[in-house]
Structure 1
Amino acid sequence: MPFIKGSERYNCQVLCLDRKIVMIRPKMWLANDGNYRELRWFTAWKQKGSLEDFLLPSDISEALLQTTVPFGYGYIQFLDVAIAAEVCEELFSPMPPHAELVLKGVEVFLNASGSHHQLRKLDLRLRAFIGATNTRGGFYMYSNQQGCDGSRLYYDGCSCIVVKGNVVAQGSQFSLKDVEMVVAQVDLDAVASLRGSISSFQEQASCKPKVSSIEVPYRLCESFTLQMLLSSPLEIQYHSPEEEIVFGPGCWLWDYLRRSGASGFLLPLSGGADSSSVAAIVGCMCQLVVKAISEGDEQVKADAIRIGHCTDGQFPTDSKEFAKRIFYTVFMGLKIVLRQFSLVAVAYVQPLQCARSEIAIKLMVLAEEIGSWHLDVSIDGVVSALLSLFQTLTGKQPRYKVDGGSNIENLGLQNIQARIRMVLAFMLASLLPSADINPIGSISKQDLRRFLKWAAVHLGFSSLEEIESAPPTAELEPIRSNYSQLDEVDMGMAYEELSVYGRLRRIFCCGPVSMFKNLCYKWGTKLTPGEVGEKVKYFFKYYSINRHKMTVLTPSYHAESYSPEDNRFDLRQFLYNARWPYQFRKIDELVTQLDGDRVAIANEASGGGMGVVAAGSDNPNVGL
């Protein structure tokens, strides 16, 4: 919790025993990157020499009959065990506090953390606990927040207890519970035995740094009895990435729903991977709610009764029935495409109607599997009215590119459909259940496709398998017998390539030149340097043109640092020179240099000569 001491505000872990505050431990290393800006609010504690007396606020002092409390960096020495706090980010700093505290004899570390969920991140966290206790001995007690923080993050719990590098207790990573307790029985003698057997530990402890402590005349350990059973090492429980994709956002959506006061969600379905994935996640959320109720969670039960408007003592017992109460899906399609505003191009009506009918049927099946209240809406009349208005105002008739129109006309006609769907979705959401969030905003297309395959089997939504296998398309242009719109063709790059670009740009902070170099190593066996260079320049050109749109994206669930949504995670500027004159010129220079090297190597190889290894040389590579 926050404490103001003097003129500074500190982020602190408060250690209490029997209605008394034993110690206030301010955080020394603050998280100030990625999703966190702790330095915006707090000051890091820098005085490591001694503990100071902190005057408690009057209302707390009166309630606890306690005037002052030790404040600062140190540890607590009980009669039978030494305990210290290591707060959140400090564990992951280059020189974590536990490294010196173990030399002072501290056996138990308490870490009260706020660590958010991110795909494949749990292993990193657990390896840090295991490493902290494996070579130094000791017990690590890790408690973590669980639930939505009212923003993009979901804190994924998984509280655990680690003994000498072994996990002996592990809580759930994804749960609808408000509180979860993890318990283990451990033997302190095992720590003393390990530390006493390591000579280097003894030597380093003999010149240990000065760290202040508080003596508390209290025993925490139980006496030895035959009835005491020590906790054995467990096999660490990990979720697959597909399970993380559905359980993390699913729990986040439930927290959002029960805390926002909304009565449900509305989702426009297009038949593509993205909207279908969101539908599956909401369907799984309903399954989690019903499961929690069946296991006796009264808080989830009360929330579900309120949100689902259940009456007469009824409560959700079936996920589909609950979905019908809180989840609306809508398909907004076109039955016809107008070549001219006054005439229907009859030759094109039937193929498009067939395609639309197939999508509509597919989505009805998905909605039935999930249990959502599904609407099938035609937006033909609205599109036709807008185009007619445009023709009245300008006398112009924009055409799709396949009908001879320009790129600008083609884009404008597509945007009309997209914007109409958006406006209609918001109207429906304001009259039906409302929400404006994105549960899959930072999940890559590859991970989503793997998730759809998994969900088709494990969530019981079998129609997702057919959706996953369909080529991605925005379906904003008219279908012809010799033409259908595909996302990857429109973008000029494959989704697999886009994921690579996005990771290099976001996670590894690559600019054009460093991305070019990385991709030359990665793709050098299948693409020439010139081809790699053109791909990199193409990506950065459109990255720059569209960068400003990233600042106004719908708030999305943060699943990994790959996310394009930058309001919280990526604070770099959104205005770039789309021509990247220096960087692109440098790429061209490198391409010329690399092409020259390739020619030289080819000429040398074709000359018939071969390097000679000098007789008796110690280096077998000389001359090759």
Structure 2
Amino acid sequence: MSFVTVAAASLPSVPLDFEGNRDRILESIRIAKEKGARLRTGPELEIPGYGCLDHHLEGDTFLHSWEVLAEIISDPVCKDMLIDLGLGVRHRNVRYNCRVLCTYRQIFFIRPKQSLANDGLYREMRHFTAWAKPRTVEDYYLEQIIKDVTGQKKVPIGDAILSTEDTAVGCETCEELFTPRYVSKASTILGSEPTWTACYYSPRSMSLPPTGAFRTWRGEIILNSSASHAELRKLRTRLDLISNSTRKLGGVYCYSNASGVDGEARMMYDASSMVLINGKVMAQSSQFTLKPVDVITATIDIEEVRSFRSSISRNVQAAAQPEFPRIECDIRLSRPADDFYFSDLKPSRQIELKILDPMEEMYMAEAVYLWQYLTRANAGGYFLALSGGLDSCSVATFVFGMARLVLESINAGEKTTLDDLRRVTGEPEFTPKTPQEILGRLLHTCYMGTKNSSTDTRSRAQRLAQKIGAYHSDTNIDETVDAMESIVDQALNFKPKYQVEGGSVAENLAKQNIQARNRMVYSYALAQLSTTSRGLPRAGSSLLLLRGYLTKYDASSGDLAPLGSISKSDAKSFLGWAGEKWDLPILKEFLGAIPTAELLPLSAGVQSDEEEMGLSYDQLSAFGKLRKVEKLGPWSAYLRLLGDWKDLPPRETAELTKRFFRFYAMNRHKATTITPSIHLSAYNPDDNRHDLRPFLYKIWWPYQFSKIDKHVKSLEERSEQEKKH
């Protein structure tokens, strides 16, 4: 028997925080070593931070990364450990996203990433080049600062396996787990390692795991260093890919993922690092956590891999594969059975994968996002215009969830969380007993009423703020609105009227937007002065939180948008879940309320947002997913919905389709001013980053709409003919 203890670290990916990243990496190595591990892997690009974006183009980023790596491997904690670190490397004037496998004062091998993420939120090809030479290694001439530490002049770089004294270690990096590979006929049939000649796709290849692991399964231990973002209901896909790979081909898979908010405040890395052997999960870290360093370990018997692989029908094909380059490493990772018997280590046992309920997943993601944003920005708190509607209620509930998680972390003994709370509040002795105590200092809500506001929304806002402990203001902005309209009158000699009072559509819209945009100006003033006016120990500007339904330069102009890509249906489900779990029965009132901006006179009656838009929120979600996620234009979306919405007449489906795409084209420019928002679904409103289609269209889509109209007419004519017969 040959027991190996491996460790996977989940660390925040903080761009350019070289000192902080170094300290967290060293702490993770210390923890791993204390737990008996001799191999430690960490997240992708963990030294500079994955989310450096165009800083990856700067020479300083590479220089400082090597300086930090030199400091790490100079620390005696690295003795007798195989350490896997991530940083950018320039080789022959080409930038590569690399893994450095090293130990105390020695580098064994540099392994570049071979498949780059370049879709959705990712732009890796802008910053790096994929290694394009399979089964090839070259000489990398080391920087002087590394030479001074290691005494080495050069090390291998490329596609290879690391051979220790007792096993073999291979690497994948994030996207390689998800990227399909060409596979040979032999490997398609029996799951052996593919050759790189006469390769093709065949239907049977789909039964095998579509990962880069094919090329590294000569290694018995596979390391995957990742920076994979969170999406609701996505984690199962990732975990299934890993477990299925090891179940089919055998091996130990040590997966390490980043945690926390990225540098753009758009993505959340959701950790869930894990260790598997032959398809069985042996260890898994939390999906979301406030811990700055989270390390899991597993102790496994390498003989299990050898026995598993020798018992499956792959041996003839595996024996026929050409040799894979190997780099020699003079470290022994395993402990013999006798030594293992006298250690404190125990063999790890199989565990069940932990997949959070989507509502709990939303709660944890939002809580970590809001807390890390606040502490990194070093702001005085959050400010939210609480309208009494569902969107602002959802945001307030997210902040309450943040306070709950902060309190839970403090009660669990996490000193970093308590230190951050005391720093942000300016109270060095503050130790909260309830989440309400935290929000009384960190959240200022304000109801900004006008003559068009109802008593229902005012009451709901006030009672919700009281229940969650927020500092609340109840104000009226009619004077500001009247003053603005007076200035408009001076300039134009014209007083706009609502439609209900005889005004035009343009006048009606202008009067509504004057209210909305004045709320934005007022919100910023209150956010900047809130902590000072209340005499809090640490006076500083609060961050302005946004709601959902928005006017350009109203709710689109805050500091961050917690609702982000969360759909209306998911937001409603979350409020129902939180109301029950957190004893907040008032949330039911928000779920039952009609969504309305309350910008029209009460004499006009209550007009819901859906009535104003001419589309329900469910219909909007359907169109949004078809347009953005499935990349369908007006014609294809119409055809899809003919089948999905068979209860509607074709003409009504066509009119809804044309209405959506017409207003999408008219309002596309609003996406240029969208506030950074958390990405929790593939349907993301942040078009500056996630969707690079144009902002200027012919809004009537003449060719596409004409094609739809002709199709509707033909369907109606056919329907009439069938009725006659």
TM-score by length of 1: 0.90
Distance 1:471 1:295 in 2: 41
1:429 counterpart SS class? helix
Distance in structure 2 (CA, Å) of the matches to 1:287 and 1:49:
51
For residues 142 and 433 of structure 2, the distance between their equivalents in structure 1, rounded to whole angstroms, comes to 49
- Equivalent residues in 2 for 1:556-595, closer than 5 Å: 556-595=677-716
1:275-295 deviation digits (Å, cap 9, x = unpaired):
111111111111111111111
- Match of residue 116 from structure 1: 229
Between the aligned partners of 1:521 and 1:70, the Cα distance in structure 2 is 57
Match of 1:196 among 305, 310, 323: 310
Change (3 A) 1:416 1:61: same
Return the alpha-carbon distance in structure 2 between the equivalents of residues 97 and 503 of structure 1. Answer: 29
Matched, 1:414 2:506: no
Q: CA deviation at 1:600?
A: 4.7
CA contact (8 A) 1:48 1:211 kept: no
In the alignment, the residues of structure 1 paired with residue 714 and residue 102 of structure 2 have an alpha-carbon distance, to the nearest angstrom, of 66
Whole-angstrom CA distance in 2 between matches of 1:44 and 1:395: 63
Matched, 1:326 2:412: no
Equivalent residue of 2:602, what SS?
Answer: coil
Give the C-alpha shift of residue 599 in structure 1.
4.0
Give the one of 492, 495, 502 matched to 1:404: 502
Letter in 2 for 1:189: E
- Are 1:32 and 2:109 counterparts? no
Identity %, equivalent residues: 41
Superposed CA deviations along residues 444-492 of structure 1, whole A, max 9, x for unmatched, are: 1010011111111223332111111111111111113x72121000000
AA partner of residue 22 (structure 1): F
Q: List runs of 5+ in structure 2 lacking aligned partners.
A: 1-86, 182-210, 531-540, 544-558
**1:302 aligned partner:** 419
Amino acid at match of 1:135: K
Distance, in Å, in 1 between the alignment partners of 2:678 and 2:354 is 23
Matched, 1:437 2:539: no
* Contact kept in structure 2, 1:439 and 1:556, CA below 8 Å: yes
Counterpart of 1:203, as a letter, is V
Query: 1:430 deviation in Å?
Result: 2.1
Q: Which stretches in structure 1 are left out of the alignment for 5+ residues?
A: 338-351, 607-624
Q: Does 1:315 align with 2:427?
A: no
Aligned to 1:611: none
- Relative distance call for 1:158 and 1:399 in structure 2 (3 A) is same
Alignment of 1:33-48 (within 5 A): 33-48=119-134
Aligned twin of 1:612: none
2:50 match: none
**1:175 is aligned to 2:276:** no
Q: State whether residues 320 and 372 of structure 1, in contact with CA within 8 Å, keep that contact through their aligned partners in structure 2.
A: yes
Q: Is the counterpart of residue 534 in structure 1 residue 655 in structure 2?
A: yes
Matched to 1:98, the amino acid is A
Match of residue 344 from structure 1 = none
Question: C-alpha offsets along residues 391-446 of structure 1, whole Å, 9 cap, x if unaligned?
Answer: 34444332212222221111111001100101101111222332211111211101
SS of residue matched to 1:150: coil
The residue correspondences of 1:467-486 to structure 2 (distance < 5 A) are 467-480=590-603, 483-486=605-608
Of 242, 256, 261, the match for 1:129: 242
> Is the 8 Å Cα contact of residues 100 and 208 (structure 1) preserved in structure 2?
no
Alignment partners' CA distance in 1, 2:369 and 2:279: 31
Relative to 1, partners in 2 of residues 1:146 and 1:476: Cα closer, same or farther, differing over 3 Å?
same
Quote the Cα distance in structure 1 between the aligned partners of 2:322 and 2:370: 48
What is the one-letter code of the residue matched to 1:425?
S
Matched-pair contact (CA < 8 Å) for 1:294–1:317: no
- Partners of 2:602 and 2:316 in 1: how far apart? 77
Q: Give the C-alpha shift of residue 25 in structure 1.
A: 0.6
Structure 2: how far apart are the matches of 1:101 and 1:207?
15
Q: Matches of 1:455 and 1:544 in 2, distance apart?
A: 36
Letter in 2 for 1:400: Y
What is the rounded CA distance, in whole Å, between the counterparts of 2:228 and 2:449 in structure 1?
Answer: 42
Shift of 1:528: 2.0
Retained in 2: the 8 A contact 1:280–1:461?
no
Q: How does 1:320-399 map to 2 (within 5 A)?
A: 320-334=436-450, 336=451, 355-356=454-455, 358-399=456-497
Q: Kindly indicate whether residue 177 of structure 2 is the aligned counterpart of residue 55 of structure 1.
A: no
2:169 maps to amino acid:
I
How far did residue 601 of structure 1 move? 4.5
Matched, 1:100 2:205: no
Secondary structure at the aligned position of 1:198 is classed as coil
Task: Give the structure 2 partner of residue 140 of structure 1.
Answer: 253
Is 2:673 the counterpart of 1:518?
A: no
How far off is 1:317 after superposition? 3.2
* AA of the residue aligned to 2:269: Y
CA positional deviation for 1:34: 0.6
Once residues 304 and 234 of structure 1 are traced to their aligned partners in structure 2, the CA distance between those partners, rounded to angstroms, is 35
- Relative to the length of structure 2, the TM-score reads 0.78
Distance 1:597 1:13, change over 3 A: farther
My pick for the range that moved more, 316-325 or 405-414, is 316-325
Question: How far off is 1:226 after superposition?
Answer: 5.3
Letter of the 2:580 partner, please give it.
V
Specify the SS of the correspondent of 2:640: helix
- Write out per-residue CA displacement over residues 118-138 of structure 1, whole angstroms, 9 at most, x where no aligned residue: 111101110110111111111
CA distance in 1, matches of 2:580, 2:147: 58
Q: Aligned equivalents of 1:207 and 1:588: distance in 2?
A: 61
1:231 deviates by 2.0
Pairwise CA RMSD of aligned residues? Answer: 1.6
2:296 match: secondary structure: coil
Q: Deviations over 1:306-342 (max 9, x none)?
A: 001114x3333321111111111111001x35xxxxx
Displacement after TM superposition at 1:209 (Å): 4.0
In 2: Cα distance, 1:57 partner to 1:70 partner: 14
> Aligned AA for 1:320?
Q
The answer to whether 1:283 aligns with 2:404 is no
Distance 1:455 1:251 in 2: 16
Distance in 2 (CA, whole Å) between partners of 1:209 and 1:406 is 77
User: Could you tell me how far 1:572 is from its partner in structure 2?
Assistant: 1.4
Bigger Rg, which one: 1
Inter-partner Cα distance in structure 1 for 2:592 and 2:105: 60
Deviation sequence 1:232-284 (CA, Å, 0-9, x none)? 22222111221222211210111111111211111111111111111111111
Distance change >3 Å, CA 596–CA 137, structure 1 → 2: farther
**Does structure 2 conserve the Cα–Cα contact (< 8 Å) formed by 1:398 and 1:405?**
yes
Question: Do the aligned residues in 2 keep the contact of 1:305 with 1:316 (CA within 8 Å)?
Answer: no
Q: Which residue of 2 aligns with 1:83?
A: 169
Question: 1:120 aligns to what SS in structure 2?
Answer: coil
Which stretch of the first structure deviates more once superposed, 589-598 or 443-452? 589-598
Contact 1:479/1:485 (<8 A) preserved: no
Question: 1:618 maps to which residue?
Answer: none
8 A contact 1:100–1:209 mirrored in 2: no
1:594 Cα deviation (Å)? Answer: 2.8
Do 1:442 and 1:557's aligned partners in 2 also have CA atoms closer than 8 Å? yes
SS at match of 1:11: strand
3-state SS of paired residue (1:135): helix
Q: d(CA) in 1 for partners of 2:601 and 2:593?
A: 18
Aligned to 1:347: none
Task: Report the residue type matching 1:565 in the other structure.
Answer: D
SS in 2 for 1:84: strand
